Each structure stands twice: as C-alpha cells, then as structure tokens.
Amino acid sequence: MLADIVLPGRRFQVFTYQIPPHLFSHIHVGIPVTVPLGAAVVSGLVVSVCEQQSEASPQKQFHRSALRNILSVETEADQPPLGHNLFQLVEKISAYYLYPLSASLRLIVPPHVVKVIKRIFLTEEGRAALVDRSLPDDVQVVLRKLEHAPKGLLRSSLIHAIPNASATLTSVKKKGWVVQRTRVPSRSNTRNQVSASLPGEKPSAPVVWDLFDQPDKNAVAALSEQLSFVNGESPLWSTISDALRTGEFQETVVVGAKSLRQNLLMKTIQAICRQGKQAIVLVPEVHQAETLGEHLRKVWKDQVEIYHGHLSSSDRSTRWERIRQGQATIVVGTRSALFLPFSDVSLIWVEHEGDASYKDERLPYYHARDVAQMRGEVDGALVVYGATRPSLETYSRFRGQIAFPTESSGSPVPSIEMVDLGTLPFGTTLSSMLLDGMTQALDAGQQVILLLNRKGFSRALICRDCGQAPNCLECGVTLRLFHRPTRLVCSYCDRSQPAPETCSACQGTIFRFSGMGTQRLEEELAGLFPSCSMVRIDRENVKTAEEAMRILRRFRDKEIQVLIGTELLLHQATPPTAKLIAFPQADIGLHIPDFRSAERTFHLLSKAVVLAHDEQQPGQVILQTRMPDHHAFKAIHQHEPSVFYDQECELREALGYPPATHVILLVVTGAQADRVQCVVDFLGQQLKKSGVYGALPQNGQGMLGVPTVLGPLSSRKPGRHKKNRTIFLIKSCNLLDTQERLRKIQHAYDQQFAKEPVVYEVHVDPLDIQ
C-alpha cells in the first residue's frame, strides 16, 4: 500500500511512501505520521491512500523499491484522524487563492515535535576494515567502540565521548563501514503526557461552566456587572442569540467600543458553553491573544486555550493535542487558530477584523477574515466580525446592519481642532495652535503625545543647486536621512552609507531636508521646550517589546512629559493616553501611491483620537494638514465615520477598486532579467488571449470604464533587492470567472516554464499593491 503525505515547509510537493504491513490498519486520510526525509525525520499528514501503484497519478510512476517506509503513526489507536471539515476548508482555500492543494495542506499539518533515536552500528565491511592496522587512530577508536556494542551506540554518545567523532562518522559512513538506524519512540504515552501537564484535570468530557456559577466570586461579580447592559433586548445580542439558535452558518458584524464588543463576546461564549459546543476567537496580535485568553480563563478555567505562532514547538504540540482530545473548547489565538482540529465549532469571532496582521505573508497568502467565513460555511458556525471602525470591505457587505454608535457619557469625547498648513508660511512645521496647546498642557502638569508616522530625520537629502537626491544603487529608491549617527538608509534593502559632503551630480555643498521624520521633530521640540523630558518610540529607537514597555511605564509614572511616536505606539498592548494628542503632519499617509492609503489614514487617526483623555476627562486633538477638506479628516473632525465610509466607497467604485471589485496581483520574480521578461511576455499574451483584458462594465452605479488589467509594471519590494520583479494588476467584477481563466493560464505556464528559474505567484485580494 502507498500513501501520499504532505510535509510542512514543502509548498507544492506531496511525497509518496510505502505503508509497512504492521501499519496497514492504522493509516487513514488525515492521520499524522512520522516519515524519513533525507537524513531527517519529520512529521507529515496523510492526504491519500492507494492500494496499488497503478492507482497513483501518472506523474507518480516510480519503482516500488525506491520508496521509503512510513516510520510511525503520531496518534493513539482510538483517536480519529483529522476531520473531513479541515480538508474541506483547505480545498476552499486552494480554490479561492489559486494555489495547489499541497500548498494549503501545510496549514492543517499537526505541529508535532518528532523525537528520534539515532543509533550507529558497525557493518561487516567495517569489521573487515578493522583488520587493517594502518587505519588512522581516530577511525580505529570509533570502529573499536562500535565493535563492542552489538546493539549499537547513540550518535550523540559517540560525539560527546570521542573528539572529532562527527567528521569521522561521516567519513566511515560514506565507505559503508557503519550504518545509522533511526527509531521513533512510541507515542503511546502522549495522552498521559498531555494530561499530566494540567494538574487536576480529568480526561473526561469537558465541564460546561456557567458564567454565574463560578467559584471565583470576584470574577463573576465583575463580569456580571459588565454584562448587565447586554442581558436585555440589545439589538446586537438579539441578532447573535437568534443566529446561535438556528445552528447554521450565518455572519454578522459588531461595530462599537471595545467594552461593548468584549461584553458581547463573553455573553456569546456563555451561550456556546451551555450548548456544549466550541468557539474560536481570533485577534491579530500575540499580546492581544495572551491578554484576552487570560481574561476568559478567569471564568472558563482550563476550557480556554491560547494558540499562536510565538509558542515553542513543544507548547504548540501539547496545546494542539489538548484541543484534539476535547479538553479545550474555547481557543483564543492568531490566524493559525483557524486550522485547529475542532469538531463542533459553533462560533468564530474575528476581533479587529480589518487589521493587516490577518493577512498571511506566506503561500497561499490567505486573509484570516475570509478563511473564517470559509470555516463557518464548512462547520455551520456563526461568524462575527468585530471592530471599532470596520474595514471598507466589511462596511460594504454589512452596510445595512452597521450603525455607528454615538459617544456615550462614559466615553470622553475630545475636542478636535484642524490646522490648515497651507495657510501658514512656507516651511512651518509646528503651528502656533500646536505650540500653544503644548505649552498650556505642560504648564498644567499634563502630558503630550505627538504622532508622526515616519521614522528618521528627513525623507530625503536634496541638493539645493540641482535638486538631486542620493538613491540606493541596488533598489533605485531615494535614501532616507537619519541622525545619531548621520547616515543615509534605504527603506527597501536597509543598506546604509555616510551622508555625502558634496552632491555627486553637481558638486554642490548645500543640502536641504525634504519632509520631517520623528528624529527631526524631536530635535525641533527639544529646542523649543529644553526643560521638558522627551522620548521617541519608533523602530529606530525601540528594538524590542521590553524597551517599549519600559518607556510606556515611565510615561505613565509621569517621568516623561512628551512622547513622540509612529504607528508603533498604537500597536502596544495598552497604548498610553494624554491630555493633548497632536499630528504634526496628519496627511503623511495620504501621499502613498496605494488605493488603501485614505482608509489606513482614517483608521490610524481613529485609534489615536480615543486616547485623548486624562483621568476620564476629555482631552484635545490637533490635526495639522494641507488637505483639510479630505473626507478622512472631515469624518474625524465631525465625529461622523459615515462621512468617510460613504465617500470612500463611491470613490473606490468609480475607480474599480475593492470593495466594488476584487483585485488579483500576478507577480513574476527572478534573478535573470531576460528570463523574467520571457515569462512576462507569455503572461501578457495569455491574459489577452483569455479575454481578461478589457474595461470593467459600467453597471450604472458610477463605475468608470477603467481597464481590468494594469501592467506589466516593474516593481520593487522591501527585502527583495537584486531581484527583477514585474507585476500585473487585475480588477474583476466576476471573481469566479477570472479565477477559472487564471487556472487555465497557470496550467499553460506549468507546461511551458516548469523548469525555469523564475517564480510566478498569484495574490488574490492583496493588501499591498507593490
């Protein structure tokens, strides 16, 4: 019998192994197994089983003798294989994101840690070689030791006992004098090991805790008070409870303050537990998973598990087994939690659904929000999308259900002032309103936060005489100026060089700065407020999470009066608050050539505005911009989010961008420019031949007759220097039809360029167009 097995880290490959006779009855589709791969032993997942070689696909014709055996099964005999629902899920992912099934199967491979025992044995050829006394001393020592060990010796023991044994073993192994045999210990104690890691827990069916029947009276009282306002006939709770009663796949959205969403989440989990079902709660960041998971554990104890990619391999394996065995029914985690082996999921809650961290940066480049919808369809679960300000895609889908709440009396509403930099003298970076606001706040013993989403000193160093700016020799992009020490840095490849004393084009010696970064802002403020303690938080100044925590702790202890930061400041577990929050250049993100730039700017401002308060007293927000009429700033200034969403949806529809259409990015990358160009020409011809080229249909809703394919365009991406990269951008109103056409193009590409040293990738619904 033969088995096809997918291995993690092998994107497009499915490996075929022989099933040894003693494992015939144990090998099924969905069973995790241990297999040899080269000199290593790795975990894999069985995806198909066939009786005879003739049943294998044509490309898998081989000599049976060349196949290697499966070593062991990584599960108990009474444990079922992975559920059919996970295989249905990866099939949906593969079909939607246009990648082979093998590229998606890695998502559900169990994260088992393979423990192997490697023993070295002396062969008959090795015994014969010992007769020759002219052998080197180090070889003789190794062979003599193995001669007196009929059961073999551990490789690790030999390496520790004999100097330079590793090189010697490699040499004698090539000559056939020794052989290494690998044994995988039985996993029969897996369940006992998992249970032993949780003292006091019985391996029986999970106990259904009720929210108000916990022994922890303090936690119950606090949560009961928090949930009091959703225990009634709240419209949001009524929608969720009705959906839970049906037990079918449904979707809904919860837009509101963090406290509202968290209370609804707790109430929904309570209902899920009473039904004896399971829940997955997704958050974008690891620290958010840890915080929310610990909060839920106050009520549901060991039924709650936390799962994310920052866990060690052994921790992930242990927690995966707990979930598989039904000992945890509530999981809080990042996007990888979507692929856990739950059998009866009733709720998938996607918190902060628009966060960019939900987009996976590896094949098949899935978005967790979309995969959550797919898993909800497979498992018949309720999928809830939660956000303070939803993404434009979610707003467009649920526009009729979304009502932005008015600010309650319990939430301080800051006053927002807008400064038009266009009315100020040229070169003014800090307006009198901003400086007066800072002076008043600091004189009153208050604190100030300034947000500028650009690190460094200046965006560019420009020659005053000829206007030239130094560019990166590898990437061709303008170098950014940094101080302390003074240097020019490429934002793509991170290459740095000293700042020049003369212009390379005209030999001029006078330079001017273009734009402002956090270093320049800090320098100017230090000159205006010399007695004020001031600290900067950006990727240049803060390298670790511990450093950021130390700075924020000092700020909360009032040791720091002015805090200057980039968007990194808002991504902290508990962002700081201040009486005054200012944006010296609020429109800096609007100039990025990306159709999502306005949405990102709006979300950045929305996150920051709620931090403008001090001890529950509303604070002040000052926005400096040269575009005061932009709908993102109007919405923030008027406290009316719908102003932004409605205008941005109209603009996207007119230009044919999501959510009015779907965007697909075709990326061709390679080291050899001529071979990349050959593939690009082929794709261009195939796109025209397949009918993808043309204009988007004008459906009467304001869409302009814009082309469906943009490109080919030369592209650069951070970290991809020394690579030739070309992209095609496809806009589609009919995604299913476009996907089918691209599958045919992929098939033609595989036939013609299978061995070309060029990488061709497809990104469906990318977040970044570059």
The string of DSSP codes covering 29-87 is TT-EEEEEETTEEEEEEEEEEESSGGGS-GGG---GGGPPBP-EE-S-TTS--S-HHHH
pLDDT in tens, 246-266: 889 999 999 988 888 999 999
What is the predicted pLDDT for the residue at 234?
A: 74
Helix axes 641-655, 631-638, angle to 10 degrees: 160
Tokens of 601: 């700017």
Calculate the alpha carbon distances from 12 to 5, 9, 43, 107 in Å: 12, 9, 16, 13
pLDDT in tens, 64-74: 457 888 888 87
What is the predicted pLDDT for the residue at 159?
A: 86
147-151, 468-472, 505-509, 638-642: which has the highest mean pLDDT?
Answer: 638-642
Tokens of 64: 């049976």
Q: Is the pLDDT of residue 209 over 70?
A: no
pLDDT in tens, 747-765: 999 889 888 889 999 999 9
Buried b (16+ CB within 10 A) or exposed e, 611-621: bbbbeeeebbb
Distance CA 205, CA 190 (A): 18
Task: Please enumerate in sequence order all residues whose Cβ is within 8 A of that of 395, keeping only pairs 6 or more positions apart, or say none.
Answer: 402, 645, 649, 659
Q: Please, are residues 282 and 333 in contact by the beta-carbon 8 Å criterion?
A: yes
Distance CA 20, CA 24 (A): 7
What is the predicted pLDDT for the residue at 574?
A: 85
Q: Please, are residues 18 and 70 in contact by the beta-carbon 8 Å criterion?
A: yes
Task: Please enumerate in sequence order all residues whose Cβ is within 8 A of that of 91, keeping only pairs 6 or more positions apart, or say none.
Answer: 101, 104
- CA angle, 727 as apex, 723 and 733 as ends, to 5°? 160
CB neighbourhood size of 3 (10 A): 24
Binned at pLDDT 50, 70 and 90, residue 556 comes out as very high
Smallest CA-to-CA distance from 692 within 750, 761, 739 is with 739
What is the predicted pLDDT for the residue at 412?
A: 66
Q: Is the pLDDT of residue 450 over 90?
A: yes
Chain centroid to Cα 32, Å, comes to: 25
Smallest CA-to-CA distance from 104 within 128, 127, 84, 88 is with 88
pLDDT in tens, 104-153: 888 888 886 656 677 888 898 888 888 876 788 888 888 888 888 888 88
Smallest CA-to-CA distance from 348 within 435, 252, 419, 433 is with 252
Region 726-755 average pLDDT: 90
Region 584-600 average pLDDT: 91
Distance CA 599, CA 606 (A): 10
Distance CA 63, CA 70 (A): 17
Binned at pLDDT 50, 70 and 90, residue 103 comes out as confident
DSSP 343: S
Is 0.75 surpassed by the pTM of this model? yes
- Amino acid at site 369: R
Task: Please enumerate in sequence order all residues whose Cβ is within 8 A of that of 674, keeping only pairs 6 or more positions apart, or say none.
Answer: none
Smallest CA-to-CA distance from 279 within 253, 300, 308 is with 300
Distance CA 73, CA 70 (A): 8
What is the predicted pLDDT for the residue at 181?
A: 77
Tokens of 362: 């590896």
Strand partners of residue 583 = 623
Distance CA 749, CA 254 (A): 44
CA atoms within 13 A on the CB side of 563: 33
What is the predicted pLDDT for the residue at 208?
A: 37
pLDDT in tens, 377-427: 999 999 999 999 999 999 999 998 888 866 544 566 889 999 999 899 887
Smallest CA-to-CA distance from 618 within 416, 327, 442 is with 416
DSSP-derived secondary structure for 611-679: TBEETTEE-EEEEEES-TTSHHHHHHHHT-HHHHHHHHHHHHHHHT-TTSSEEEEEEEEES-HHHHHHH
Distance CA 633, CA 644 (A): 8
Task: Please enumerate in sequence order all residues whose Cβ is within 8 A of that of 474, keeping only pairs 6 or more positions apart, or say none.
Answer: 490, 493, 495, 721, 722
Distance CA 702, CA 711 (A): 24
Region 165-175 average pLDDT: 87
What is the predicted pLDDT for the residue at 406?
A: 62
Binned at pLDDT 50, 70 and 90, residue 201 comes out as very low
Share of the chain above pLDDT 90, in %: 43
